[in-house]
Amino acid sequence: MLRNRWVKIAAFVLCLAPLGWLGWRGWNQDLSANPIEFITHFTGDWTLRLLVATLAVTPLRKLLGLPDLIRFRRMIGLYAFFYGVLHLTTYVWLDKFFDWREMLHDVGKRPFITAGFAGFAMMVPLAATSTAGWIRRMGGKRWRMLHRLVYAAGVAGVVHYYWLVKSSVRRPVIYGLLVAVMLGARAWRQGAKAPAAKPAALVR
Amino acid sequence: MQLGMRYSEITPKHVYLNRRAFLAGLPVAMLGAKRALAETRLQTVKSPLTTSGEKLNTFQQVSTYNNYYEFGIDKDMPSVNARNFRTSPWVVSVEGDCARPRKFSIEEIQALAPLEERVYRHRCVEAWSIVVPWIGYSLSKLLEKVQPTSKARYVAFETYFDRRQMPRAEGLDFPYVEGLRLDEAMHPLALLCVGMFGETLPPQDGAPVRLVVPWKYGFKSIKSIVKIKLQGGMPRTSWNAANAREYGFYSNVNPNVDHPRWSQKTERRLGEFFKRQTLMFNGYGDQVASLYKGMDLRANY
């Protein structure tokens, strides 16, 4: 079933749906009294959600016995990057209006901006090397090494959110727990299979 | 790209209110209960203390974008969750170091002095701002009624709290408390506020009575007050208790002292695309700067 082309198209459309929803609300002038803040939070939320979804693919493949889920991982990861680009663009363009000096000041002085920017920077090489061509060129082993950066990007995203909120940390903590479960599942699996001959091939 | 500027003006207030009344009225109608859906009009007089030369924000902006953590931590939550907040009967106890402590009903507060319409700039610590035509009178008029004694140096304020009416409250220790130095509280600009836009306050904006201190960050302007206490020591304040490094007792609007996590140099006026410069004391320096003569405002943030 997961190999069906239409399933992939459906997943593609599903990942695009939040942007459609945002556009629809914008069209209806329904972006709250502070539209720029609304767009910033909305795109940030979806970056984090899709990052968690990307990290969930490998554990779910094993847990559900659905190895074909791997067919969606690249797409979900690229969508996380896509929403991350929208999030950063909102900040650079709508919020700061290309005030580079002010932004540099932010990256240096405000830890939550620094964390968010670091998370985004780590996603760039992953998006750039997401094609089959790059896997071939780099070799599977090195490619997998590089793509473990997604773990750090997930952590950076959570830290970014945690440092940003004013008082209630409930939501960032929920994302933190989700990321922890995804990374924990890998550590646990790796621990269980540690004596195996080719650990690199087993860890994703 | 002027999203916020036009959409809010597209929906006239009466249409918006009708829509809201319709939606809010549905469950109430089904229960057969009766409730006033719109706010009541208030008679006001002109005030020399009003701020001129500012374009007002719309009622919709001011009543759907609220920080009122008792009704939820998102800006759009209070306007939904506070809809059935009971603001009548309402009693404010004024007590502590004063010769004539007493309780005031909300009706007494509304009738205590002529109600003035005062347009104020309102600057949130989160770097957004609005311009609101508030209704009320100087807090000093209420405080004079109870005759503060010489022991009184500060005024402590407390917001109503009831978990049953505020099940979505989170993020702070409740009840919410705030405070002013007595001379700040007696300053004519410190407004005891019972309305806005010509009517009584909607619940999400702090009904039935709140404080508006226009030269300080918005969180100092405590909502839905039930207790005012005159005292000798500096009162505990909610945001300071939550994070002392980020929120000081004074919290005067000051573009030169950044919040540890963001700049306070600029602000976004709701409805405007470009940020504007934040003014010292939110532009009320001529009136209030003397209160802080000789004080290090970087240390006393």
pLDDT digits (tens, 9 = 90+) for A55-70: 999 999 999 999 999 9
pLDDT digits (tens, 9 = 90+) for A3-24: 888 999 999 999 999 999 999 9
Residue bearing tokens 């939320």:
A45
What is the C-alpha separation between B129 and B149, in angstroms, rounded?
36
What is the C-alpha separation between B277 and B267, in angstroms, rounded?
6
What is the C-alpha separation between B2 and B156, in angstroms, rounded?
41
> pLDDT-based confidence at B2, cuts 50/70/90?
very low
Quick check: A161 pLDDT over 50?
yes
Quick check: B35 pLDDT over 90?
no
Any B CB within 8 A of A32 CB: yes
Whether B159 and B238 have beta carbons less than 8 Å apart is answered as no
Any B CB within 8 A of A65 CB: no
Q: Name the burial class of residue A114, with classes exposed (0-12), middle (13-18) and buried (19+) by CB atoms within 10 angstroms of its CB.
A: middle
Strand, coil or helix: B266: strand
Any B CB within 8 A of A106 CB: yes
- Contact residues on chain A for B4, CB-CB shorter than 8 A: 31, 33-36
DSSP 8-state symbol, B210: E
What is the C-alpha separation between A144 and B242, in angstroms, rounded?
43
Please give the interface size between A and B, counted as residue pairs whose CB atoms are below 8 Å apart. 64
Residues forming a β-bridge with B148: B98
Query: What's chain A's average pLDDT?
Result: 92
Quick check: A195 pLDDT over 90?
no
What is the C-alpha separation between B252 and B301, in angstroms, rounded?
7
Angular region, B110: left φ>0, alpha ψ -120 to 50, beta rest: alpha
Give the relative orientation of helices A35-64 and A5-27 as an angle to the nearest 10 degrees. 160
Read off the tokens for B256.
């030169």
Which of B4, B10, B242 comes nearest A34 by C-beta?
B4
Residue bearing tokens 């900040």:
A91
What is the C-alpha separation between A45 and A43, in angstroms, rounded?
5
Among candidates A165, A65, A178, which has minimal Cα distance to B243?
A165
pLDDT digits (tens, 9 = 90+) for B203-230: 999 999 999 999 999 999 999 999 999 9
